[in-house]
Amino acid sequence: MPLTPVSPHSAHLTFRALEPIHGMIYFTPHGPDSYRELGITDPRMMYFASRSAAFGPVTAEVTIATFFNFNPAAVRAVIPAAWEIVSPAEIFRARMRAVDRSLRQAWGDDLTSPEVREAAELARRAAERACERPQGRALFAAHAALPWPDEPHLVLWHAQTLLREFRGDGHVALLLTEGLDGIEALITHSATGEISPEVLRASRSWSEQDWADGMRRLRERGWLSGDGVALSEYGSQRRGVIESRTDELSVYPYEAIGEAGCTRLRALAAPLAIRVIEGDLGFPPTLSARYRQVVDRPVS
């Protein structure tokens, strides 16, 4: 099938429209339930082990390198200890059970609807094209080597997972080229106003002193202005470059379905994503509001 151009803006919108379908795995109560069945009770171990399981029983350093913005001490506290409790293959299967239970709860009888099937087919075509270009994208490549599920709802989730990690690895590369370390990347993200500093600091296990030190370094390099978390003109310009280039680097997979396919995929995904957001799957209210803001945008 011939490829058609896709704009970076369209790639951005398509990724965002489907992100709640993937993102629920980090909040759904079915995740911890599935991991506890294997003997994992530490929430941090659940997160780091389930997302890095695609690599196999890796060291903490691999997870630190590929996850990028988490406090390394938080990773080392649970990796590789997790692999002494459960194998990566077992935790991967538990993760997929949690996905299955969550989407069944959100979509009910529509789990195999024509809309889910069509969305899964479009997303898979994009994700399979991403698999043609794994170079330089380690976290994506690990997930790309996992087997595809059979059921349409799981195919859709797995496809968005691949597209997410493909985009994320490109984003990390750009953060590195700007000379940002993990906590500095979080600080500049929070300085855009998209998410609060407290949420990012706590969720990535950084101390208040770590955060203050990161802000000091950024001020010294001209990224921040004033005493609070506010981007300077220079910092705003550099952060804008990172975001626009992230969109540009994420275009490649979506060329498999073109602009028309992206528009159609967003139209199909919007009601499905809203049902996930509203499906009692544990999304924090602030994140639900952000997701709704994106999903409710016109699809064209």
pLDDT tens digit string along 138-186?
999 999 999 999 999 999 999 999 999 999 999 999 999 999 999 999 9
When divided into structural domains, the chain yields a total of 1
Residue 161 lies in a domain: yes
Average pLDDT over all residues of the chain: 95
Residue 63 lies in a domain: no
Residue 285 lies in a domain: yes
Lowest mean pLDDT among 92-101, 227-236, 256-265: 227-236
Range of the domain at 148: 8-23+109-176+245-291
Asked whether the predicted pLDDT for residue 299 surpasses 60, the reply is no
Residue 280 lies in a domain: yes
Residue 251 lies in a domain: yes
Lowest mean pLDDT among 46-50, 64-68, 283-287: 283-287
Q: What is the mean pLDDT of residues 279-287?
A: 86
Output the CA–CA distances (angstroms, integers) from residue 160 to 21, 54, 265, in the order listed. Answer: 8, 15, 11
Asked whether the predicted pLDDT for residue 211 surpasses 80, the reply is yes
